[in-house]
Amino acid sequence: MALAKTLTAVGTVALARCGGRPFGTHLFSVWPGAAFAATAFPVRCAPGDNLALHVAVAQAPTGSALVVDVAGESEYGYVDEILAVAARTRGIAGIILDGCVRDIAAIAECELPVFGTGVSVREVGHDAGGSVGRRVDMEATGPVPLSVRRGDWIVADDDGVVCLPRGQVSTIIADTMSSISRSREIIDAVSAGESTLDLLGLDPSRVAGWEGAGDHSADFGGRRSRPRALNPRRDPRAGEHPAARTRRGPCSAVTDVYGGE
């Protein structure tokens, strides 16, 4: 799907900056380089039990992501090789889990993107119930949980996991595109030798030990300097690193997929 490719290419850092809601920093990718974007299929497991996960793998739409609340009992290996292979075979895009996993080498081998809180050999039960397809509240940065509903977009990569609430995806992507263009211009200017202090309008006199190199001491004589004006009409891809261009390549598809939220 074009929208999934666009969101994966944009990445979680840019999306979080522009309205994407980040999950907690406790989540990590089971294998480096795992990344995906997909609509959420919420799952709530009973503590120490993964029956609901097995049901979700059998029932979730192809291409969706399982977002799994384990009811605060994280110290079990809720996802193992069997579940990972089953999910991959069924076309599940990835699993976000507020709990531990096991068989991590096998999960990496089957290349299912799984993000969890840790690794545990402690086995789970398979008979305590739970729920699928209903809203779940996931741990997030700060005291307020992150509510995830079926149909919200989930984006995950090595930098973290974010949720884009359904109905807000178009706005978040549009803001993200503008932010990326601005960031590329700044990176190009830094690569050409310009200072981040000038480009971002930062006040170095607030930092103890600043020696006033260059013209900065004059610029900040009781006032903030204005950052160098960057030309918004300039092609932000000009001169950028090939890896960054690959990262952003599918973004041109955004205008074609706004209707697909």
Higher per-residue confidence, 46 vs 252: 46
Cα radius of gyration rounded to whole Å, the chain = 22
Total-model pTM:
0.78
Residues 79, 161 within the same domain = yes
Q: Tell which phi-psi region holds residue 168, choosing left (phi > 0), alpha (psi between -120 and 50) or beta.
A: alpha
In a domain, 232, yes or no: yes
Expressed in angstroms, the distance from the first to the final Cα of the chain is 11
- Domain identity same for 139 and 208: no
- Residue 261: inside a domain, yes or no? no
For residue 160, is pLDDT > 60? yes
Q: Which two tokens stand for residue 28?
A: 């990590």
Is 185 part of any domain? yes
Q: Describe the crossing of helices 169-191 and 2-10 by its angle, rounded to 10 degrees.
A: 40
Do 38 and 153 sit in the same domain of this protein? yes
Domain boundary among 167, 194, 210: 167
pLDDT at 52 over 60: yes
User: Which domain CATH number covers 109?
Assistant: 3.50.30.40
Please answer whether residues 76 and 101 qualify as being in contact, where contact means their C-beta atoms are separated by less than 8 angstroms.
no
Domain C-terminal end among 150, 167, 184: 167
Whether residue 50 contacts residue 99, with contact meaning beta carbons closer than 8 Å, is answered with: no
CB neighbour class for 229 (10 Å; exposed up to 12, middle 13-18, buried from 19): exposed
As given in the structure block, the two tokens for residue 166 are: 């359904």
Question: What angle in degrees, to the nearest 10, is found between the helix axes of 81-89 and 51-59?
Answer: 10
Q: What is the pLDDT of residues 178-194, one digit of tens each?
A: 888 888 899 999 999 99
Question: What mean pLDDT, rounded, does the chain reach?
Answer: 84
Residue 221 is predicted with a pLDDT of 42
> Does residue 110 have a pLDDT over 70?
yes
In the predicted structure, residue 98 carries a pLDDT above the cut 60: yes
Handedness of CA 176, 182, 188, 191 (dihedral sign): negative
What's the rounded Cα separation, in Å, for the pair 140 and 3?
Answer: 25
Same domain? 133 vs 243: no
Average pLDDT over residues 121-141: 94
- Whole-number pLDDT of residue 229: 45
Q: Which of residues 167, 197, 224 is at a domain's end?
A: 167
The predicted structure's pLDDT at residue 184: 87
pLDDT tens digits along 194-222: 999 999 999 999 999 998 765 544 444 44
Q: What integer is the mean pLDDT of 162-172?
A: 94
- What is the domain extent for residue 239? 171-253
Beta-carbon contacts of 123 under 8 Å, excluding residues fewer than 6 positions away, are: 76, 77
Together in a domain, 43 and 103:
yes
Q: What is the mean pLDDT of residues 17-46?
A: 95
The pLDDT, as a whole number, for residue 202 is 93
Same domain, 119 and 11: yes
User: In this structure, which amino acid lies at residue 96?
Assistant: I
User: Do 6 and 251 touch, CB atoms closer than 8 A?
Assistant: yes
pLDDT band at 242 (very low <50, low <70, confident <90, very high): very low
Q: Rounded distance, CA 129 to CA 142, Å?
A: 29
Name the percent of the chain lying above pLDDT 90.
Answer: 74
